[in-house]
Structure 1
Amino acid sequence: MNRLVPLAVVLGLTTASCSGGHGAGSFLPSGAPGAGSAAPASAGARTTRSTAVAAPPAGWATTATQAVSLKSATDLGALDATKPVTVRLGLQLHNVDQLKSAVQSRAVLSPGQIQSAYAPTASEVAQVTNYLQSQGLTSIAAEPNGLMVSATGSAAQIAKAFDTTLHAFTVNGVSAYANTAPAYVPTALNGIVVAVLGLNNVQAFATSPHRGGQAVNHASPADSAPAPQPESPCALSSVFIVGLPSPQPIPTPEAYTTGCPRNYTPSDYWRAYDVGSTSGAGRTPIAIMAEGNVSSSIADFRVNEQGDGLPEVPVVVKQVGVASPDTAGADEWTLDMTASTGMARRVSTIYLYATTSMTDSDIALMYNRWVTDDLAPIGNSSFGGCEAFPYLDGSMLVDDEIMLMGAAQGQTMFASTGDTGSFCSVGNPNGVPGGAPLVEYPAASPYVVAVGGTTLWSQYDGTYAGESAWNAGGGGLSQFEYSPFWQSGIQPVGTTATGQSFRGTPDIAMDGDLQTGMIVYIASAGGWTTIGGTSLSSPLAAGVWARMLQNHPGLGFAAPQLYHTFAMSNPGTKLLGPPPTINVGPFHDVVSGSNGAFAATPGYDYTTGLGSLDVAALNAVIGQ
């Protein structure tokens, strides 16, 4: 798979200690950067880790954007005063507690209802744009929902406008800039502007393909080879893969005699995850979050459609910001399109959102564009980075507001939890007191569906055998986000001294182990190859949800629906597998394996969440 690794942490992100105790009426914890009595409650970043926050200079108000310093980087001093810098200001939602309640109740609001009752007002947007104009900034543009306002100016103008300092750095030969002081706004904008994004251009996420070492020959279902026979059940070739040279079986314990791990094509997943008669008629569109030049991804996707015997789906590229020639994530976007539409069998349209870069600022703009366009009820983000960086630069707060707005109008973003187990990326200093392990963002957001990874075993005929937790699947407790209502009652641990619960990831899990990964055509890999990781798990889950919406229009945000269904289900009496797995209604409750700090257990856990999905069983009960 293509895992997006947080460069900031790899570089050695260091910051001041994170701050604040939860304030029920504030969009940030009491005393935290950006908190103010004039601000209504919000969905954004929160932490119970308490540290003193210095008072802002006279005439200024704090925002959620804190100072960032890069360890092991060379500080070149003040950034060239004439260098153009584009910032994006995040604005405050209104009546957020009401909006959260609507999502909790599984209601779906119209964009008009959300805009009139919860979005920043035209007057507030005007105050922000007027201030930016007064500072000599240009290219000022407000997003249709008023949640973001962009502007461009010289480094000197930007530093003055937000009373901050910008420095240039070189890190491993790469030029970058970042703010070395917090960002402030005039007191007149206190409670209106919550964060200033774009003060750093650190590529917070970077692609790192995880794929099989050798290409395989692939045939469509019409040309498929016979299913493997019991005497050799665990060859890596699956029922629709032929010509794999010298297959190397996964070592199989003596007890595992009823099924095996193997690689899968879309139609293999239909059988393993029990699609049954659940329609894949193609009435639901899906949005894929991407970056850079996506032309090769689309070309490879077309080959996958043909090879898998699937109908051709229209792809509409939605350029967000300035077009970029970057192709580092091309394999990722191919996988996302192939896995999501393959699991769904067909969707009406793929909206491929292509942003300029993998900076937090550009990602936030892309997310907001998906919400304001409101073209696709399903989105997929097969990337992420350690949650400390978006917390510190304020993008966590802005993204959470965006995702809450999308959830309220019935949109669901699926996000992969990462491929480094219970410890996000590397163990470099992360700015969190006590060196606590971090989970990945955006999966940590309460308003996305976080998808972890499993190792999927199937019977000789391709039907489901069992699953275990994939040992590299991301999962754990957020240090900055509290769990939403629908999750907090199911979590086994994670309650804080104040009675709140930290957000746990994942919510659900799907196949992610490279050893049981998906066969995908990647031209740069030499043809058909295997790809795994939670970058596979997330689009598989998105494809399942597409089938749900095709059969049950108007379900709305998936997370509360899934947790409600789990809570209403009784555990089965039959133990599936091996690997041992328990049916809990439409969920495969995974009870073996671990991701390091956490083990799979009956019920919700921090390796596979609620478990994986039986599609036909879910279709029979969802929304009840």
Structure 2
Amino acid sequence: MKSTLNTKRSAFASFKGAALILPLAVASAAQAAAPAQTTWVSTETKAFIAPATRTLAATPLVELAAGSPAHVVVSLKLRNANQLHQLARDVNDRKSTRFRKFLTHQQFLADYAPTEAQVQAVVTHLRKNGFINIRVAPNRLLVSADGTASSVKSGFNTPLVHFQRDNREVFANTAPAQVPEALSDTVLSVLGLQNVTRAHTMLHAGPRTQAKTLATGTATGHSPTEFPALYDVGNTPSAANTTVGIITQGGVSQATQDLNQFTSANNLPTVNVQTVQTGGPNGDYSDDQEGQGEWDLDSQSIVGAAGGAVNQLLFYMADNSASGNTGLTQAFNQAVSDNLAKVINVSLGWCEADAYSDGTMAAEDQIFTTAVAQGQTFSVSSGDEGVYECNNRGYPDGSTYSISWPASSPNVIAVGGTTLYTTASDGYASETVWNEGLDQNGKLWASTGGFSSYEAAPTWQSTLSVSPKPAGRAVPDISFDAAQSTGALVYNYGQIQQIGGTSLSSPIFVGFYARLESANSNSLGFPAASIYSAVQSTPALVHDVTSGNNGYGGYGYNAGKGWDYPTGWGSFDISKLVTYVQGHKFAQ
């Protein structure tokens, strides 16, 4: 379902500063990297650092020593890609004869995965250039390998350079990743050639707040078990028959203990938790203390919104030591290859310009398209940086706007954030755009929304009436509570902590949609088109958020009637949505 804008903005146009002047030896290294007789063909991995396009650091760029370790994940092209894109549309189209006839893993391997011969050709190329520990993903979309800077240079015709940025030693490629012409129909992109930018969590933690009553209602923290009543689930059954996935960076031992404490404290059954290591067997799957608040928020908010039960909770753990964001790509792919989780939460994101440049966007859109065809739904936090994801992560930069990946993929549900106010009797009162202004460091905390510079607007967004008209995929689709002041009270290392951010709003949606799946025998597919058509025909399905802004100092987008950039359609009234689904084929 992915399509790319015909006129693409430079992948780095949102960054300011003088152009880098590369040392002659580095600038010319690509030409000298391979024998003259090799005909090279570029992949979707662009030069991450190139003259006149980006300033990353004032420090000089020095080519990595030949023996420096490198880890790559090679993304292979889908076979019959156009047909898979059409299938992903058809299984969610009630007018199609293939409606809800979701793709199986076996069918994917037979009709759409790269062939064994194509995989073997890539493996042979990697071995020839000194790569070892080569692993092929079960669905054959990814091939990972360990090598050196010299292996990268000889195998993909690009040097790697290293330099200092933000007090870190980082590296990146200075030329597009290329492959020999014989592999041009097989290799899509080469990931792992930069570790300059990395996905970050979308949570905003703070002290437990006192209830504050305003004209719009009372702002206070909430136990995750309170969100179902606040968003009117009524007698909707729990998600006890639906398997849910959570993508994490690193391990979740502490998060699992905290989840058990949460269920015990709320007299809920113990959740059937399984963990899946999604990278190499020697990867880092240990708990990261800084990340545990995120996985606590995800798991406890999902279980709370799901009515206290899910069939199974699968933690897909990315290798925390993997280069760049390759660990996350492998985690997404494992969740899709397994095809066990019906709804999958992603409370992570990073600048879409970087994802486009290093080939991640192309690689992951294939994965998300496959998920849609299989009837899986990825729910992704839209971001906590307002309109400034790429500009130093939330530091205002006037009218230079940007959004986050993978929320900008048309093959995921992007979930933005609101501030939720309650009545004197603890019921739903109202919502406004989540925007907490600048923190003490000058960073904006607000619901990320806008439109993509790289992903075309999907057909289900073609009739949006909003100004400015989106030139690409518009984000978010829907929103739920995300304010730290009205956030979730979750157990973190055994203590209650109040956490907000769109890392809360996405899990709330995941829990609710898992209930909807359980109520419909897990027959529902990817709901994006359905959400747009349903709300346009039945506006009462949502709480329309009409006040607030997601920028700063007069910039950003304002909320308004109907769909808007800060909150999409707003938040669902779940009982009304359940009733609607009972009377309509909820897909397209």
TM-score using structure 2 length = 0.84
- 1:537 aligned onto 2:505: yes
* Distance apart, 1:109 and its partner CA: 2.3
Cα distance in 2 for residues equivalent to 1:80 and 1:209: 38
Match of 1:355 in 2: 318
Match of 1:221 in 2: none
Cα distance in 2 for residues equivalent to 1:428 and 1:288: 23
Instruction: Give 1:64's aligned amino acid.
Output: E
Instruction: Give the one of 277, 280, 283 matched to 2:241.
Output: 283
Cα distance in 2 for residues equivalent to 1:275 and 1:281: 12
Distance 1:48 1:168, change over 3 A: same
Match of 2:544 in 1: 589
- 1:515 aligned onto 2:476: no
- 1:470 aligned onto 2:440: no
Aligned-pair identity (%): 36
Match of 1:479 in 2: 453
Contact 1:44–1:400 (8 Å) recurs in 2: no
Farther off after superposition, 348-357 or 89-98: 89-98
* Distance apart, 1:493 and its partner CA: 4.6
* Distance apart, 1:504 and its partner CA: 0.5
* Distance apart, 1:134 and its partner CA: 2.3
Structure 1 runs of 4+ with >6 Å offset? none
Distance 1:327 1:76, change over 3 A: farther
User: What SS does structure 2 have at the residue aligned with 1:338?
Assistant: helix
Q: How does 1:113-512 map to 2 (within 5 A)?
A: 113-207=107-201, 210-214=204-208, 247=210, 249-250=211-212, 252-253=214-215, 256=216, 259-321=217-279, 322-325=283-286, 326-345=288-307, 346-357=309-320, 359-424=324-389, 426=391, 436-471=400-435, 472-490=446-464, 492-493=466-467, 501-512=471-482
Instruction: Give 2:548's aligned amino acid.
Output: G
Instruction: Give the one of 80, 89, 93 matched to 1:104.
Output: 89
Contact 2:407–2:475 (8 Å) recurs in 1: yes
Distance 1:201 1:131, change over 3 A: same
Instruction: Give the one of 542, 551, 563 matched to 1:604.
Output: 563
Distance 1:429 1:421, change over 3 A: closer
* Distance apart, 1:599 and its partner CA: 1.3
Cα distance in 1 for residues equivalent to 2:227 and 2:317: 28
Distance 1:145 1:493, change over 3 A: farther
Cα distance in 1 for residues equivalent to 2:467 and 2:153: 43
Distance 1:394 1:45, change over 3 A: farther
Distance 1:437 1:191, change over 3 A: farther
Contact 2:56–2:165 (8 Å) recurs in 1: no
Contact 1:104–1:485 (8 Å) recurs in 2: no
How many residue pairs get aligned? The number is 523
Instruction: Give 2:477's aligned amino acid.
Output: D
* Distance apart, 1:355 and its partner CA: 1.0
Q: 1:467-525 CA distances to partner (integer Å, 9 max, x unpaired)? A: 111121110111111121222223535657xxxx40010010000111111111212xx
Farther off after superposition, 338-347 or 134-143: 134-143
Residue ranges of structure 1 left out of the alignment (5+ in a row): 1-41, 215-235, 237-246, 570-583
Match of 1:31 in 2: none
Cα distance in 2 for residues equivalent to 1:207 and 1:160: 35
Cα distance in 1 for residues equivalent to 2:120 and 2:4: 26
Cα distance in 2 for residues equivalent to 1:549 and 1:73: 52
* Distance apart, 1:47 and its partner CA: 5.4
Match of 1:95 in 2: 80
Distance 1:376 1:600, change over 3 A: same
Contact 1:380–1:415 (8 Å) recurs in 2: yes
Contact 1:285–1:349 (8 Å) recurs in 2: yes
Contact 1:45–1:396 (8 Å) recurs in 2: no
Instruction: Give 1:263's aligned amino acid.
Output: G
* Distance apart, 1:336 and its partner CA: 0.3
* Distance apart, 1:429 and its partner CA: 13
* Distance apart, 1:546 and its partner CA: 0.4
TM-score using structure 1 length = 0.79
* Distance apart, 1:602 and its partner CA: 1.5
Instruction: Give 1:62's aligned amino acid.
Output: S
Cα distance in 2 for residues equivalent to 1:387 and 1:189: 27
Cα distance in 2 for residues equivalent to 1:103 and 1:341: 28
Distance 1:493 1:401, change over 3 A: farther
Cα distance in 1 for residues equivalent to 2:235 and 2:7: 47
Distance 1:421 1:445, change over 3 A: same
User: What SS does structure 2 have at the residue aligned with 1:479?
Assistant: coil
